[in-house]
Amino acid sequence: MNRTGTLTVEAPAGIAVERWPRSVQPWVVGAAGALLLGGAAWLASDYGLRHAGLFLVGAALGLVLYHAAFGFTTAFRVFVTVGDGRGLRAQMLMLAVATVLFAPILATGGVLGTAVGGAVAPASVSVLVGAFIFAVGMQVGGG
């Protein structure tokens, strides 16, 4: 980081690429934390602790992926602008492992005595709201 609070990444060709400012905004962190805890409390009261826990795990994973700058679009952008293909290789490895693990399970229809299958449902308002929130998150996350 330089003195202005921006992260400078050296490209392989020696070109400095400026990244977003990395200063912590306590009121944003507090508001996000309060919303996450409120959402978890609501889920726990209406649907149980399992859903609340999964909600918080999803939020934590999203935070980790955000700070790791591990996004689908980010990997392509870094590959095109800088020539670094590590993100694309990581994504291809992730997809290959998921395919190798889940294709046989879905083909047999069960694992460890539990029936599994694809989730098929009609699109609803919740899908539209979720897609909007995802799009906003992708823009905020730089992906």
For the chain, the domains span: 1-68, 70-117
Phi, psi of 8 (to 5 degrees): -105, 125
What pLDDT, in 10s, does the model give residues 55-107? Answer: 999 899 888 877 776 667 778 888 888 888 888 888 889 889 988 988 888 88
What pLDDT, in 10s, does the model give residues 97-139? Answer: 988 988 888 888 777 878 887 777 788 888 889 889 888 887 7
How many Å apart are CA 102 and CA 131, to the nearest integer? Answer: 25
Q: Is the dihedral of CA 29, 70, 40, 139 positive or negative?
A: positive
Q: Report helix, strand and coil shares of the chain as percent, to nearest 5.
A: 65, 10, 25
Contact 87, 68 (CB under 8 A): no
Q: Give kind and range of the element (H or E) at residue 10.
A: strand 6-10
**Alpha helix segments (H runs only) across 48-124:** 49-67, 72-81, 86-108
